């Protein structure tokens, strides 16, 4: 057996394993940093939902527009009950 060559191979493997270990450590650190950033952003983003207010425009409160809106809502209600409705 050539102990000199085997000893060199073992040193080379240890050097490669050390490099791979550093790479894995850096990747794990990057994942942890990304997780911390995501968790910090979760608490800062706010969504405000405002309910619709009454319609005060004269244009939308005319009887003709009101009847059109009622007809449209009635047809969509019929569509929801129909099995042939695409929506």
- pLDDT band of residue 87 (cuts 50, 70, 90) is very low
Rounded to whole angstroms, the Cα distance separating 11 from 1 reads 17
Rounded to whole angstroms, the Cα distance separating 86 from 10 reads 69
Domain boundaries, the chain: 1-44, 57-87
Rounded to whole angstroms, the Cα distance separating 6 from 13 reads 11
Rounded to whole angstroms, the Cα distance separating 24 from 16 reads 12
50-80 tens-digit pLDDT: 877 665 555 555 667 667 766 666 555 555 5
Please report where in the chains the tokens 């129909």 appear, as a residue: 82
Q: What is the pTM of this model?
A: 0.43
């Amino acid at each position: 057996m050539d102990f000199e060559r085997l000893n060199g191979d073992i040193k080379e493997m240890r050097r490669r394993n050390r490099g791979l270990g550093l790479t894995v450590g850096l990747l794990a650190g990057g994942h942890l940093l990304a997780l911390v950033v995501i968790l910090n952003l979760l608490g800062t983003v706010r969504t405000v939902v405002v309910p619709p207010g009454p319609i005060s425009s004269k244009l939308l409160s005319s009887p003709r527009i009101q009847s059109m809106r009622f007809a449209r809502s009635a047809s969509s209600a019929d569509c929801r009950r129909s099995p042939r409705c695409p929506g």
